[in-house]
Amino acid sequence: MIRRGVPRLAGYPKASFHEQNVNPFSNVQWQSSPFLKKNLPKTDVFAEEHVSMNALSVFDMEKGNWFVIDAFNKSVGSLSVCISRLLQGKYRVDYNSNRVNSSSVIVVNAIHVKFYGHTWDTKVYKFPRKSHSKGHKILTCKTVFARNPSMIINLAVKRMLPNNRLRQIYYRKLFVYPGALHPHWGIPQVIVPKKIETNNQQDNANSFTII
């Protein structure tokens, strides 16, 4: 029996996430991306211009230390290393590996993270399924990112944390959001309007840069 839908899907131009046709023999290689440009979140025409502070730290003795990070155009590996060190409190002078400090990390713009080369297509995630006839569920990085953009950073940070009883406690202090704003009350936003100029000494002291 011949299925009529198969040849149509094979030649359908929107069946893949790629914006252009892939030619492996060309001099300039393509770089895979998970979303088409038209599917990315768009900014309203009447919206005010905003600027990113890249990273912001808020030190509060009652709520604990909070770090707000903008993941726009950041590499997943470098960003995850920085987040894992902040969650474990390795920046503190009184760091101790068997003690949990009160540091939490908020990541925004997770939908704009980047991988180099063909990582979107070659990197795979294996999710174990017990007593399943087909075994583990294997998904590419592009598929996982299309279903949940925050899962890429969550999995990267979780696997960088130490594999002990404190791992789940550290992981609960991580909050990743695909958009540019976070819903935490009392914590300042890292994406601020362009009209507001933060040139105070306190803001400069509490801000840091992620390379």
What SS3 state is found at 167? helix
Q: pTM for the whole thing? A: 0.76
Burial of 29-60, coded b for 16+ CB within 10 Å and e otherwise, reads eeebbbbeeeeeeeeeeeeeeeebbbbbbbee
**69-121 pLDDT, tens per residue?**
999 999 999 999 999 999 999 988 888 888 888 789 999 999 999 998 788 88
CATH code of the region 54-116+149-193: 3.90.1180.10
**59-72 pLDDT, tens per residue?**
876 667 899 999 99
CB 68 within 8 A of CB 54: no
Confidence at residue 15, expressed as pLDDT on a 0 to 100 scale: 39
